[in-house]
Amino acid sequence: MNELCKKSAVQVVRLLKSGEVSPEDLLDAAFARIEAVDAQINALPILCFERARKQARNLKKPDSPEAGYLYGLPIAVKDYNDVGGVRTTYGSPIYREHVPGVSDATVARLEANGAIPIAKSNVPEWAGGHTFNPVFGTTLNPWNLNMSVGGSSGGSAAALATGMVWLATGNDLGGSLRIPASFNGVVGLRPGPGVVARGKRLQPFDSLWVEGPMGRSVADVALMLDAQAGHDLGDPFSFPSPERSYSETLNSSGCPKRIAFSRDLGVVHVSKQIAGIAETSVLKLHDAGIEVTEEIPDFNGVLEAFQTLRAILLGSMMGPLLEKHRSQIAPEIVDNVERGFSVTPELLFEAERIRWRLFQSMMDFFETHDYLICPAASIAPFSVEQRYVKEIDGFPCETYIDWFSITFAVTMTSCPVISLPCGFTESGLPVGLQVVGRPRSEGALLRDSTRLEELFGLKDRLPIDPVG
């Protein structure tokens, strides 16, 4: 493995800006690593090397004001995000040959900050927790090629874990960024709504879907968030980035004093294996002097409310597409879109009341606690042959997304949440924790997560070569 591929994004950007390595050096290293590894895991099915070379040649000097946060750093872009002049399929045969003319708001800001997209990462068809689609097939977990990478940011997570890129985009509706981070042993941040501007393809007034950074460490994720955050006129929820960068915030002193831990938030099924690993990990925090309680907010009714609001979102976004291309859309997505058509006013009112109540409960919680911590996935990575998870320790999953309700329950809080690697199963598969912070506290969450990351001691395990 090339030594550059082993370095963190923070280290590589420092080398770029000092002139010790060039963007072309990094492109060469990334291209060689992709060629050596991706045939085994299928994480980056769309490559844009020529575009990347051209972009690198057009970069200003590293000490220029236009250098941005990521000057010349190659990244992977999830195939739900448009990159100008590059195929973007959304995992759907309907868009198999689709080539957008311009990058969406999320990617455009990254490019303005010096990022160079070199590949599109694989995704499920439209949405889901397992990365496979009829256009490019299935992405395999590099820790065990027989297992799923999760989804929907599965290609991004696997590319990071194997050192094909230093940073990758993710997005998250019900856990699409946090689950792959957990399944692949990387870090993923779901920021609060409005931190990262979204593209015009998304419903502009939805607060469930957010864009966020993925990396191999908290510091790398903070650097990427600096390059992503900010206001865009096309996204009415977006707001200006903070005066102090997220990376600078990491240098502040601080450590959580009081957290609450829950194995299951009191409303979901979590496998005994995952709950046990999560609990053991949290004991490390207790041993480090952090007070741990079980005083969690009230999540009752949140799962049903999320299902209702998600159905409305998919119905509004995909209703017209379903009318024209029903036979080319996965049956699970068809069912979800049609569920949106059947939502009654009473169901909508109740969903919004539950979300309202949950938010108030979260604010009460933060009066006495710094963070809420729970597992980032209800199960360990499952067989790649399964279309979706149907049961957890004997408890049946009624829908194809029930198995990741531990993450979509947290989505409903609108709070920033980071997925951190915390341990491994007996068979060597990664396990992650969700750390949920106060609204608009991404900087503090990242700062304190560096301390938790040190206590868990896993970040130096990456990158890896795929394990058969």
Q: Which pairs from 242-248 meet CB under 8 Å and 24+ separation?
A: 242/443, 244/443, 245/69, 246/222, 246/442, 246/443, 246/446, 247/10, 247/69, 247/219, 247/222, 247/223
Q: In the annotation, is 78 catalytic?
A: yes
Cα gap 10→221, rounded to integer Å? 9
Q: In the annotation, is 176 catalytic?
A: yes
Extract the tokens encoding 326: 């029903």
Q: Which of 148, 152, 238, 419 is catalytic?
A: 152
Q: Which of 17, 78, 120, 459 is catalytic?
A: 78
Cα gap 90→94, rounded to integer Å? 9
381 Cβ contact partners less than 8 Å away, ≥ 6 residues apart: 141, 143, 144, 147, 148, 149, 150, 183, 429, 430
Q: Characterize 262-285 residue by residue with b for buried, 16 or more Cβ atoms within 10 angstroms of its Cβ, and e for exposed.
A: bbbbebbbbbebbbebbeebbeeb
What is the CA 28 to chain-centroid distance, rounded?
26
Cα gap 421→433, rounded to integer Å? 6
Q: Rounded to whole angstroms, what are the CA distances from 323 to 80, 334, 335?
A: 21, 10, 13
What is the CA 137 to chain-centroid distance, rounded?
20
Cα gap 138→381, rounded to integer Å? 14
Q: Which residue, 228, 192, 223, is CA-closest to 210?
A: 192
Q: Which of 92, 103, 148, 176 is catalytic?
A: 176
* Catalytic sites, residue numbers: 78, 152, 176
